[in-house]
Structure 1
Amino acid sequence: MDCSYFDAGVCRSCTLMGVPYAEQLEGKERLARDLLAPFGDAVWLPAVASAESGYRNKAKMVIGGTIEAPTIGILDEAGRGVDLRECGICAPGIRAALPVLARFVARQRLEPYRVPERRGELKFVLVTESPDGELMVRFVARSEQTVARVRAGLGWLQAELPQARVVTVNLQPEHKAVVEGDTDVVLTRESALSMRLGDVSLRLRPQSFFQTNTDVARELYAQVAAWVDDVSPASVWDLYCGVGGFALHVAAPGRRVVGVETSREAVRSARASAAAAGLPQVAFRAGDATAFALNAATAPELVIVNPPRRGIGADLAGWLEGSGAPSVVYSSCNPKSLAHDLARMPSYRVRAGRVLDMFPQTGHMEVAVLLERVA
């Protein structure tokens, strides 16, 4: 993949841009295998490749420039807006939407937030595309002033961008390195985006996490479901469950599944998806995954963990080590933290592993492993 932004030096976020894709994938697979080699003689399945471009189903774009000429992309070192509306890793539907959103910003006179001066109103626009081409558009702003302006122009936006099924304004008044605030004001009739993945449809609400590469996410869920079915546990926990992707994919007659997630919005999404799918045996709890495990009376037969980049940490790893749970599936976006966690769990060995390339053109990857208790 070639990128004019990268070649011009205005954006270097994709650190592997220009490296042949086969070489990227081989390097990621080699790194994962080397890091996890001390933890068992795993059977490594072939890596799951991605499309090299157009794979991201979510764009987090900084709004810069001026009201009359807004930029939509990133900020440079001086805090000035750099326009990236033609970013090649974004899904085509998102790329088509970004110029419309830039015109909307100018039309509604939404003043871009100026980081160096700490002045202005609109900070980000977040756009997510579903497998069916529908969009969730979220404006992140400092105050409810933007809510009124976006609401006033909503008719124009939906006429120009009819695929925008969900439009919200997220309120983030503080000047700090946190993209979103706690409050989303939903301006459309629909408040959730349907993410259809084969036989499972996930309802994505604002502030709910979903994997950024839909095609590879589909493969990830299928792989984990196959491993779980091979183990055939009667009870499963899905910790850090997000909108319930793993929990809903491993649901089966006679199998009790519980998902745990800190985001209440994500839990609402997961419960709605389970109800729509007719899966009463799948339950979801809002809360901290580690606290849930430490306070549980008994352990399930299999635990799925899908933590943030920092990993599950010493407390949850220690609980798993002493839990007696026969099997664990660990899906990680950081093989280094995965290795650190496995070092804290010597009773488990890696039985099978797979690299899934969620993030072409970057050094990031997803690694999924099936662990079995051997001591």
Structure 2
Amino acid sequence: MQCAYFDAGACRSCTLMGEPYEDQLATKDAECRRLLERHDGIEWLPPVASAESGFRTKAKMVVGGSVDAPTLGIMNRSGRGVDLRECGIISPGILNVFPALADFITQAAITPYDVPARRGELKHLIVTESSTGALMLRFVLRSQEPVARIRKHLPGLRQLVPRLQVVSVNIQPEHKAVLEGEREIVLTDAESLRIPLGSVELNLRAKSFVQTNTQIATALYAQVRGWVEERRPESVWDLYCGVGGFALNCAHAAGRVTGVELSEEAIVSASLSAQAAKLTNTRFVAGDATTFAERQSRHPDLVIVNPPRRGIGDRLAAWLERSSVPHVVYSSCNAVTLASDLDAMPSLRPVRARVLDMFPQSGHYETAVLLERA
């Protein structure tokens, strides 16, 4: 795809923009194979391609400009807003609401945060779209000062954009590169966005993480679910489970499933989804994944790990290496740390792997790997 913002030099976030998509996908697949080439005998499944535009179902927009002329997009090097409200990788369902959101900023007199001057209120708008078309909108503010005005004008916005299901305010008072703060104020009766994903429906609360490419997330869950179904484990741990995507999708293929995640908000989301699906064999625990594993006296038949970009780290890799766990599924968003972690677990042999292009137009991608104990 081509992007006018990229061509004009206004935004270079999509580092591969303009390259043929087939070449992007082939390069990612080749890179991942190279990083894991020390491991013989891997069955490489064909890479999973994404739509190359309109795939992003979560948009984090920096708000700049002024009350009368707000910008929604990114910040340039001088700390000023660059408007990207026609960004081609964002889903059309989100793009369609940007004009109404810009008008709402003006109507509710919410002053965009001026980074160089350290004054103003509205830092970000975060919009998430479900595959049903329903939306979650979050205002990230410096303080509570605009909240009363947001409440006052919100009914009009929801009448104009009836797909708005969940609206909240996040308070981030600090002047530093942190997207959101600890406090969340939900302004609607609904507190979670229902997102059908794979074989289940996730309940996403405001501060919970969900994959930003629904098409590829669905394929990822299906791939992992297939590997679990082949083995029919009695017990499964889903470490770094987030809102429970892997655990919930694999619940019918296992006797017992336990999801572990540090974020208590995500655990609430996952538990709500399990209750709604009437899954009696699935539980979720808030806590550190590594500490949880080290404290258990019995080991499961299969472990799923889906860590952040830094990987699972030395402690969890060491625990998995010395454990009796016969199968591990590793879902990675960083093939460099994936390779390092696999090297630290020589007793667990990667037997199947697949690249899934979660992030077209960039050098990032997801990799799913099935490991078996040698």
Q: TM-score, normalised by structure 2?
A: 0.99
Q: Is 2:228–2:253's contact at 8 Å kept on the other side of the alignment?
A: no
What does residue 119 of structure 1 align with? Answer: 119
What does residue 56 of structure 2 align with? Answer: 56
Between 1:33-42 and 1:258-267, the stretch displaced more is 33-42
Alignment partners' CA distance in 2, 1:199 and 1:372: 25
The answer as to 2:13 corresponding to 1:8 is: no
Alignment partners' CA distance in 2, 1:148 and 1:347: 58
1:212-361 maps to which residues of 2 (within 5 A)?
212-252=212-252, 255-361=255-361
2:97 aligned counterpart, secondary structure:
helix
Q: Is 1:146–1:169's contact at 8 Å kept on the other side of the alignment?
A: no
Alignment partners' CA distance in 1, 2:293 and 2:254: 22
Q: How far off is 1:39 after superposition? A: 2.3
What does residue 200 of structure 1 align with? Answer: 200
Alignment partners' CA distance in 1, 2:329 and 2:209: 19
What does residue 156 of structure 1 align with? Answer: 156
Cα distance per residue 1:222-272 (max 9 Å; x no partner):
000000111221100000001100001111266100000111111111111
Q: Is 1:350–1:370's contact at 8 Å kept on the other side of the alignment?
A: yes
Cα distance per residue 1:264-294 (max 9 Å; x no partner):
1111111111111111100000011111111
Q: Structure 1 segments of 4 or more deviating over 4 A?
A: none
Over 3 Å counting, the alpha-carbon distance change for 1:254 and 1:121 in structure 2 is closer
1:336 aligned counterpart, secondary structure:
helix
The answer as to 2:103 corresponding to 1:86 is: no
Alignment partners' CA distance in 1, 2:184 and 2:284: 22
1:251 aligned counterpart, secondary structure:
helix
Gapped runs of 5+ residues in structure 2? none
Cα distance per residue 1:190-244 (max 9 Å; x no partner):
1100111253100000111111100110000000000011122110000000110
Q: How far off is 1:117 after superposition? A: 1.3
Q: Is 2:233–2:253's contact at 8 Å kept on the other side of the alignment?
A: no
Amino acid at match of 1:358: M
Gapped runs of 5+ residues in structure 1? none
Alignment partners' CA distance in 2, 1:344 and 1:41: 18
Alignment partners' CA distance in 2, 1:226 and 1:208: 26
The answer as to 2:66 corresponding to 1:71 is: no
Aligned length: 374
Q: Is 1:147–1:185's contact at 8 Å kept on the other side of the alignment?
A: no
1:145 aligned counterpart, secondary structure:
coil
Alignment partners' CA distance in 1, 2:77 and 2:2: 24
Alignment partners' CA distance in 2, 1:168 and 1:256: 35
Alignment partners' CA distance in 2, 1:70 and 1:33: 45
Over 3 Å counting, the alpha-carbon distance change for 1:254 and 1:6 in structure 2 is closer
Amino acid at match of 2:116: P
Alignment partners' CA distance in 2, 1:266 and 1:4: 37
Between 1:228-237 and 1:75-84, the stretch displaced more is 228-237
Amino acid at match of 1:205: R
Q: Could you say what the CA RMSD is over the residues aligned between the two structures, in angstroms?
A: 0.9
Percent identity between matched residues is: 59
Q: Is 2:195–2:201's contact at 8 Å kept on the other side of the alignment?
A: yes
Q: Is 1:54–1:89's contact at 8 Å kept on the other side of the alignment?
A: yes
Between 1:126-135 and 1:226-235, the stretch displaced more is 226-235
Amino acid at match of 2:332: S
Over 3 Å counting, the alpha-carbon distance change for 1:63 and 1:254 in structure 2 is closer
Cα distance per residue 1:343-371 (max 9 Å; x no partner):
11111111100000011100000000000
Amino acid at match of 1:330: Y
Alignment partners' CA distance in 2, 1:161 and 1:7: 32
What does residue 18 of structure 1 align with? Answer: 18
